[in-house]
Structure 1
Amino acid sequence: MPAALAVAVIIVLAVIDVGVAQQPISNTNTALRFACGTNDAMSLATFSRNLNSTFSQLRSQLSNTGVYYAQAQNFVNGDAVYGVAQCRNYLSSTQCLACFDVAVSTIEPACGSANGANVILDNCFLRFENYDGFYKDPQGSSDVDVPAICGNESTSEPITAFNQSVEKLLSDIRDATPRTSDFYIASTRQVGSATNATVYAIAQCVENASNTICKNCLNTAYNSLSSCLPADEGRAINVACFMRFSEFPFFQNNQTINLIPFLAKGSSSKSGMIIGVSSGAGLLLLLLALFLWFRHWSKSKAVGKGDALDASELQGAKCYSYQDLKVATNNFSEEYLIGKGGFGEVFKAVVDGGNIVAVKKLHVGFRAKKEFENEVNLISNVRHRNLILQLGWCIDGPELLLVLEYMPQGSLDKFLWGEKKGTLNWKQRSEIIFGIARGLVHLHGEFHVKIIHRDIKSSNILLDSDFQPKIADFGLARFLPEDQTHVSTRFAGTMGYTAPEYAIRGHLSEKVDTYSFGIVALEVISGRNCSDVNDSGPRTEYLLDRAWELYEKGIPIKLIDEAIDPNEYQEEGVKKIIEIALMCTQSPASLRPTMSEVYIMLSSEPELEQRQMSRPTYIDVDRRIHIGGSCE
């Protein structure tokens, strides 16, 4: 048996759970807590219009796949209404909206004309006030320390083993959650070693809160929940965070998040898989896809009547016919063309009775069609608000086709140095940098398969109607043909964005994406292409050269795009992001932070811990090496 196949089989056998059916999911949308404000609106008619409009906007945002947090506001003619809603990340969009609707129907009759209210359910929460301060500080003046809601029954498992397992699991998710990109963790733990029982737990903070507020709230929640033991379930409810444990499953087994990257600084999951390294990796993914299909099939066979599995457990992508996509794009005509890239052309299309999508034509011929299908089906289960959703594929025509969600604003590069140059303000740019970081954190450590993108660049960042970024082309780098001008036999990437150790020696790790993120962040700040040369000074300077030179002189703020209004930003905040970007481009790769560490730094106070840094190494488009640190 070849070594790669042996390793793949060992990994698959290590995680396969043959013949054990997932228990029915235990979830309800019963209100756990609600509170109404003590003051009435000034004008009930105006207040009602603003409240209904706010609820409508929140619901519209939550209807988008991968969106679990929404905020909206309306203040026409006074009686302002500021609202937030958040769903648990294990829900499908349909389930999220169902919970939101219950929340609305709970608040409206109970609170009448009160100009503030909040309601917390197992699956979501909803809050509105007549002020916006709680967006950044969700605790506000109305929050109190609420006792945990404990189950009425004691655990059926050995009490000591159960208590120890629950306390360790809750402790781990308490510590890990503030370090994730969206303040959310779902995890499981086996109860002792002499039983097959499992305990399930989640923790979630209000996404727009600060890291400090999240930590403090979860510490309180952990202490509160500990008092529930040995009850078989418990919930800690607070307007800033929510924590829950249960003997009974309330999310699917494949919806857990790897805790390791968020518990030990600098550690990474050794069991994660790198998509696109070699044919062995492709085979491994094939086996994993088959395993997931087998597990899904075995569960469906084992589940009895009335215990149907949630359709969101393993949704997969849809297989489209080539003829239908050909018609939808008018035979892939120029008038439908919306973009070109290393993978091929992208066309706008309308499918499935009115849905606008993007169809990407991949120039890879018939190579590895079945492998392509299995990988795309697997990657289609990666759902995050900062990652492009892959809706389907087609393999029955002369090209391989991907069907993706449509991004109306197009790619980021158009707004930095293309036809829409200079139109992004600082708030939009900073949110784009944060969003890219969030998406990479999810790819590297929050999905059950580790995915290294390998080609992060501004043209692979797409913007939705609200200018929120979505990373495109993740997991598909291995399908790039080797005759592309920016692709060699040693790596798939784009010169200027590619980490030196990968471009020179083929050394691939998640730190390759960290390097590329740093370059893109500098592009967003400066509005300048990393490959453009500045010949106006005494020597030729690329963007990374310029950023480092200004950093050494203590004036990194001069890197910022002159098109941005100076009144829109604080210099310390911009300086911090530039410093983080330069940390990301350090060599060797061990000096770079992980993306989870990057996101924590971006979310923290402006002051950064001082680090010794050296001039970064840069590989230009002509493959010339600008030496800084080691390329090993």
Structure 2
Amino acid sequence: MRRPNSNIVPFSLALYLLLISAVPNFVLRTKADPRITEAGHGCSLINTTNPSAFSENRKTVFSLLVKNISSTGFATASHGNGKDSVYGLAQCRNDLSMEDCSKCYATATEQIVIYCPFEIGARMIFEGCFLRYENETFFDQALDGGNSNVCISYSSSSPKLFNETALRLLADIKSKAFKNEGFATSKISAKGLQTPIYGLAMCRRTLTTNSCDVCLQHATKLVQRCFSLQDGRALDAGCYLRYSTLAFFSIPSSSSSPSKIVLILVGTFGGVALIALLMVFLIFRHPFRKFYTKLSGPRQHEEAEAYFITEEDFRWDHLFNYDSLRVATKNFDANMKIGEGGFGQVYKGIFRDGQEAAVKKLFVQKSSRVSDEFVTEVKLISAVRHRNLVRLLGCCTRGPEKLLVYEFMPNMSLDKHLFGNTAKQLSWKMRFEIILGTAHGLAYLNEESPFRILHRDIKAANILLDNDFHAKIADFGLARLFPEDQTHLTTRVGGTIGYTAPEYAIHGHLTDKVDVYSYGMLVLEVVSGRKYIDSTLSAQMELLLEWAWNLYENKEAFSLVDRRLIGEPELNREEILKVIQIALLCTQGTPELRPLMSKVVSMLTSNTTVFAQPSRPAFIDNYSTSKGLSSVNFGQMEPSSTATSQATLSISFEPR
């Protein structure tokens, strides 16, 4: 866990002004109860040096928080830069309805600026919700020096028995919270006590399981100072703990009178009817035309229209709960991270049933393009299925981030085996199967799927390997639909420098032959075991494509083979030469000379080795003259996850 930030320390030293109203009558009610009785509040000892900018950033954060707090009961957000930046967290009690949660949060935002108008940090703690903001991140903070306890009500008539019973209650709810994603309620009775004792524990959802446990242990010590009194609370940075002889949380009634059953039935059928009407509305509200426009992208350099993400827009196998993903990834612990891109990270998730998954966390607020890529990837990959495409298990749109959940690929991405130090050496047989599997997947996308799809970012980092090292194409964030009635699209360039076809890199001229070119570059990398460019090599070998062409023209193509494969008993010279020839056909400078991916599959699976002879593209000479990449104008290229530019949302796994 990170060390608390320096600006948080003064806040921790601030004396909380605990304004406790008269003891509320926490009885079970049928009407709404947002529980806005204040438990405490606190302000930093440091004021902002730029009240106008800080207040505006705080206002923006509050507006961002409300979008998720009203649907999930939890939200984090940040806005601004430098010392005027604001980080915010809001969370409601799990037993609060979303309507009451919204009311509680609204009251908290009003009160916190009254108490702390210019301070760089503040907290507002109600019985039903919690709100905090700082000028530095604090989301993983469990404890601080500003913790406190609140003791109210009168002493028990049997203090020793009461204290023993309360101690058992606290141990019980702490244990339950540890197993229940940081939230638990319970009650306990004892012979000799007039009333049961009720308890509630709640951790901030940004804490890891261990941090939550640490916070609740400390809170237990704090609240024990209230023992013998009938109501006690502990308030800390990462958790809230309370016991009371009053039933202060919602408990479902056990009575089932006929009138209640009728009301339940009426409400159920009414809800079903309402959902049906909403589905009809959404079908007409979001027609296929909008889906098509979103995926096909802007034409003639025009930007696509703004798009608001809703769950109704997606098809999915399963809609995941944010908390379940948070627990599966150990609160997105750094040790669970297996990949990273410019707009998000990928974490390994292990669910309670033992199922493993790859969880891609996108920071949508970081860039407007991420929202586009999230919509694109979810809609597109859920609309197609193939054994050589990574499978989307589901998504989560309700939470502080947008999350995609994929099947877990235990052998990570292809680039880690080709260019990294891995324990598993890829044999030629394995490499050929990867080359063939990738070709099958691309042929399906370009020609066989219900929609003609252009991937636009085929490279080793986007080819994942399953248990048997079968290839699966991943990362559809830059994909585009290709209209049946058009020969090409003109768009902003997207992809990775070195894998991008020249006509696309220079003119934005997009056809299915762009994916074919990228595939050809990928095949050359798989055969040679080296990257498309390596500045540590001689000038003749620096660019992989140029080197491969020179070897081919001099009838020395077999010299391209990865030295690690030499001497392998299964090494098939004729098959390797055929694969190299296919790769060079795929990387022809003129798009019309490149084969379709279905033809590539046919050539790879054919017993013959007699194909059309590739010709030396003129652009290779231009590359050589200009030292590789500078002759091609990549100024308008959309960013991608390469060493040069880290922006594409790739699932690029790193072994741990």
Normalising to structure 1: TM-score of the pair? 0.46
The structure whose Rg is larger is 2
Normalising to structure 2: TM-score of the pair? 0.45
